Amino acid sequence: MMVLVFFASIGYFRSNLMDQDHFTDNEIDSNTAGDDEDVQVSEAGQRRTIKNLELKLENGTSAHLADFKNRVVILSFWASDCGPCLEELPTFAKLSQTFGKDKLVVIPVNIEDDESLDKNFVAAFWKKNNFSFPSYFDTKQINAQLMDIQVIPTNYVLDKQGRIAFSSFGYNNWSSVKARDLIKSLVEEI
């Protein structure tokens, strides 16, 4: 877990300290890259279908990624001891409000194990930020292993068919104009 936090911190500092000339197309933080730059989304014919992950809520009920087809999905792997993750999560809320639950689903997956997970902290953080989406938990890190998560936050944006259209590693500002344009382009796809 410490390695993940270390790499997440590197991603955060990299995205906050680098100027826009060094930014790759997959980084959408409007604080560092200009909003006039385009974000590159994978062409529909070249997108990989993501595994149908099982997602567990705190109460033990579960859902699968396939349950969210016909909507754009942001799948975000995070941890409560990851500063960039905690900074990024509120930006999902702003983006989610823009599009509504019928067009965009935000699925944050906490990957902390049972020993390090503080569900009271998660509940308080959700309440403080008034998130309209739940947090899912991967305490056995099954999904994290299936998706080969090496850095947190790691985010996948899925199109309405459940295919990976965009991925990012490290902090992003999901309330930026570029993020809204990215999601809008996927919502409008047939």
Number of domains in the chain: 1
Domain that holds residue 171: 2-187
Residues 49-81: tens digit of each pLDDT: 999 999 999 898 999 999 999 999 999 999 999
Residue 41: predicted pLDDT: 73
Percentage of the chain surpassing pLDDT 70? 78
Q: What is the CATH number of the domain that holds 113?
A: 3.40.30.10
Of 74, 59, 46, the closest CA to residue 133 belongs to: 74
Query: pTM for this structure?
Result: 0.79
d(CA 69, CA 136): 18
Check pLDDT > 50 for residue 82. yes
List of E strands, 8-153: 48-49, 54-56, 62-64, 72-78, 104-110, 136-137
Confidence label for 40 from pLDDT (cuts 50, 70 and 90): low
Average pLDDT, the chain: 83
Residues with Cβ < 8 Å from 140, sequence gap 6 or more?
A: 113
